Structure 1
Amino acid sequence: MNSHTTGSELLIDSSGKLYQGWVTTLASTIGLSLGPSVLLVFCFGTFITPLHKEFGWSIASISAGAMVISVMIMLTSIVQGRLVDRFGGRPMVLCSVPLLGLSFASLYFLPNNIWVFYAAWIVIAWCGLGAWPIAYLKLTGIWFERRLGLAFGVANAGIGIGAAILPPFAVYVITHYGWRNAYVALGLVAIAVTWPVAFFFLRDRKDSAPQKAQATAVLRGMDLKATWKTREMKTIVVAFSLLGAVTTSAIVHQSRVLIDLGMTPQAAGGLQATLGIALIFGRLCTGWLLDRIHASKIMAVLCTIAALALFGLGSGAPFDSAILCAAAVGFVVGAEFDVLSYIIPRYFGIKSFGAIYGVIFAAFQLFAALGIVAVGICRSTFGGYSQALFALAFLLIVCALCFKTLGAYRFASHEPEPAIAEPAVAG
């Protein structure tokens, strides 16, 4: 990023046209709402019951497919990050969206073989390689400086929008036309909407820069190897690994936690849906705050509040306060990827955004899978969630301390480009 961009980040630019950065951001929002994060993760659960009825597979066996997806997310994020840095986000999106949609629709032909089911998710995850969030986030980030946080918030809100819309759509199609047609409908909608939007509206800044020097300046920053020499990179990896373990396991087990506290299954399920909508606002609010308050302060406060919330749930919080505690955890979930998207260009520049994001996100996913399993084992061992919730609250306090140690941004808009050969250690 470079300072010459900061004067043109309003919705309407100086020429009276809609600023291309916001056009790309909105295109990214649509792409993420129909991307693999929603199709593979948020829509997965809607097919569990139909597949159980059709093939007689156990719920546990079908749910294991979600673990396959988690592993694939971890692997594809590393590969996609490097490819996006090398070839650009737009070509990756345009090539991957048709493959993603067609491979997802091909589940129409799923046979009565659980191993084919698992293999299908491996193929689909790799077919959608370029459509995972990294490509959209880098394309968004290179257009902004002063409104970087808000832009990331708007783009990331797409996942929340998709999570609120696509699962009910899938349920409707399953109910009226069957689960096989639901896979086809979701896959074709992803292609029919996402690909034209990406082709006409998704733009890389270097394709629009009037001068080659400007395009080069936009992509300044550190490479992945150089970031590992900094204390900030190590701290961020630790913080987001812990966040993965805490927030993912808390959300996955949240319905059961609330039921244990006396909430009916229907009410607990309804709260989960409500929190999906809340994530949209959480991401937008966090994005707006990031442009005004240092990310370390925002996350330190949110992690501390969520830690208190988890401690309250573990202590048997009364019904009304349990809802507030669950909402507090949900707000952290809405904030975490806004913050990750924002701090990478602020501390390391935009040049290797994809590779850096991919590595951190892979660590997040790895610890997310471990956290889900660990909390489940704890529930089975102790007959309740209290011990696990106390442990998760402690980890959030550690996260808050990690964020507090992060110093000033290296690539803030008012600062000159720092020397990369000898990265400074923020105190």
Structure 2
Amino acid sequence: MTTQTAPAPAPESAPPGIHRAWSVAAVAFVTIIGAAAFASLPGLLIEPLHEEFDWSRGTIGLAVSVNLALYGLTAPFAAALMDRFGIRKVVAIALTVISAGSVATVWMTASWQLVMYWGVLVGLGSGSMALAFAATVTNRWFVARRGLVTGVLTAAGASGQLIFLPLLAWLVEHHGWRPAAVTVSLAALTVVPFVWLLLRDHPADIGLAPYGGTYAPKPAPALGAARRTVTVLFTAARTGPFWLLAGTFAICGASTNGLVKTHFVPSAHDHGMPVTAAAGLLAVIGVFDVIGTVFSGWLTDRFDARRLLVVYYALRGISLLFLPMLLAPSVHPPMLLFIVFYGLDWVATVPPTIALCREHYGEDSAIVFGWVLASHQVGAALVAFLGGLARDAFGSYDLVWYASGALCAMAALMAMVIRRRPAAAPLPA
């Protein structure tokens, strides 16, 4: 007896009107905005959890650091998971895990539960989406306008931060941290039906060509994708540029997600600033983050990526050295100037870092950047934890700001010694 498999949908030209790729991109945009809710919360939880449970800031910072580390370490494998099991399944499961981890914190009574729920569950869920989600959607569904869609999906994270940070800060200040945690859980869970019903893994699933491209059958699942991810890491680790790029990007993560996103609100609160005002400043950083990223991409097309990194890290370090003198009970013009600059500089390092990965590692550059991104999150995790310990030990965050400024100066020096490669080439076998 022979069995027959259902034929694949016949290739079709795009129907008149709006191409299906745009609806897929819209679902991805909404998903990333919903995901921004859980990225916005950690810095708002430090003071409330410290006051209610009398946990040290170092203990709370440990949960945040586990979250950031798992986010980074999961990210390189996320694309492999999506290749193997499909975008829709991976993202739906990731959002469900995030929702469960967030709502479980409402009933926690011990600090290890915070590490397990917020650190492990939310960290694994968020890492399974990370940058791989946006990259996979744009690579599969778009040929034309790919850069535009990538930029829009990248901006969705900052847009979500702008939406959720003030709301979550208001909930924490007026109703406590539990309603904020439930809001994050509901935001993640609400997106799941849209992902499951409207997201599709590949244009060929519905007989379409990608937007601006020609029809191509859906490729077979890449069974060896995870193994290749590890192989590329070991090969890249034998080259000097990899360690310089990973080192500079680790400092980037330390000085953004690990430091400012996690500890700016409690540090400003130490100086008498209301939580809602400090969270509002972080939201403003998200606005200028979008502008800075787009402008940095434009500069990367025109100038030496190494020199751009030197300038970005040097200016970031100088700004961090001045921050302790700017913190005050109210928002004033010099603080706004810091916020605007830090927003412009926040992920300005990403386009030149990607360009240098492409220059040195050619067709393997996407995987190499995944591992460089992992170092970014490991750096963020270390500073999220150590920043809390320093606050417990010294009674203020001043030393943390100064040390981070010095680290950024080190990153500028590291970027300066990265050697140029005339032509991109794949890693040697």
Q: 1:129 to 1:116 in 2, by over 3 A?
A: same
Name the structure 2 match of 1:28: 28
Contact 2:75/2:128 (<8 A) preserved? no
- Provide the secondary structure at the position in 1 that maps to 2:17: coil
1:203, 1:337 → 2: CA distance? Answer: 26
Matched, 1:116 2:113: yes
Q: 1:347 to 1:192 in 2, by over 3 A?
A: farther
**How many residue pairs are counted as aligned between the two chains?**
393
1:169, 1:316 → 2: CA distance? Answer: 25
Whichever residue aligns with residue 236 of structure 1, its letter is L
Name the structure 2 match of 1:334: 347
- Taking structure 1 as the reference length, the TM-score comes to 0.71
Whichever residue aligns with residue 138 of structure 2, its letter is T
1:224-263 pair list within 5 angstroms: 224=229, 225-226=231-232, 228=235, 233=242, 235-248=244-257, 251=260, 252=262
How far is the alpha carbon of 1:112 from its aligned partner?
A: 2.0
What is the root-mean-square deviation of aligned Cα atoms in Å?
A: 4.6
How far is the alpha carbon of 1:22 from its aligned partner?
A: 4.1
Gaps of 5+ in 1: 1-12, 411-417
1:190, 1:357 → 2: CA distance? Answer: 27
- Provide the secondary structure at the position in 2 that maps to 1:17: coil
1:236, 1:296 → 2: CA distance? Answer: 18
1:144, 1:204 → 2: CA distance? Answer: 10
Whichever residue aligns with residue 282 of structure 1, its letter is D
2:368, 2:190 → 1: CA distance? Answer: 31
Q: 1:182 to 1:369 in 2, by over 3 A?
A: closer
1:334-371 alpha-carbon deviations (Å, 9 max, x no partner)? 33446666776787678894x54442222111223334
Contact 1:237/1:363 (<8 A) preserved? yes
Which one of the candidate residues 67, 70, 74 is aligned to 1:69? 67
Name the structure 1 match of 2:311: 304
1:117-138 alpha-carbon deviations (Å, 9 max, x no partner)? 2222223433555333422332
Give the share of equivalent positions with the same residue, in percent. Answer: 20
1:6-25 pair list within 5 angstroms: 16-25=16-25
Whichever residue aligns with residue 241 of structure 1, its letter is A
Matched, 1:370 2:403: no
1:383, 1:281 → 2: CA distance? Answer: 25
- Provide the secondary structure at the position in 1 that maps to 2:55: coil
2:137, 2:288 → 1: CA distance? Answer: 22
Matched, 1:398 2:413: yes
1:255, 1:50 → 2: CA distance? Answer: 12
Whichever residue aligns with residue 188 of structure 2, its letter is A
Name the structure 1 match of 2:135: 137
Q: 1:318 to 1:107 in 2, by over 3 A?
A: closer
1:366, 1:314 → 2: CA distance? Answer: 23
1:421, 1:67 → 2: CA distance? Answer: 32
2:217, 2:288 → 1: CA distance? Answer: 34
Contact 2:33/2:160 (<8 A) preserved? yes
Name the structure 1 match of 2:329: none
Q: 1:233 to 1:115 in 2, by over 3 A?
A: closer
Q: 1:170 to 1:199 in 2, by over 3 A?
A: same
Matched, 1:86 2:84: yes
- Taking structure 2 as the reference length, the TM-score comes to 0.71
1:300, 1:422 → 2: CA distance? Answer: 27
1:34-85 alpha-carbon deviations (Å, 9 max, x no partner)? 22x641x421233344444544434443333212222322332244343234
Name the structure 1 match of 2:8: none
Contact 1:77/1:132 (<8 A) preserved? yes
1:27-426 pair list within 5 angstroms: 27-35=27-35, 38-39=37-38, 41-108=39-106, 110-121=107-118, 122-127=120-125, 130-144=128-142, 147-174=145-172, 179-197=177-195, 199-201=197-199, 203-207=201-205, 208-209=208-209, 213=216, 224=229, 225-226=231-232, 228=235, 233=242, 235-248=244-257, 251=260, 252=262, 265-266=272-273, 270=277, 273-283=280-290, 286-287=293-294, 290=297, 293-294=300-301, 297=304, 300-301=307-308, 303-311=310-318, 314=321, 323-337=336-350, 353=366, 355-371=367-383, 380=394, 384=399, 388=403, 390-398=405-413, 400-401=415-416, 405-407=419-421, 410=424, 420=426
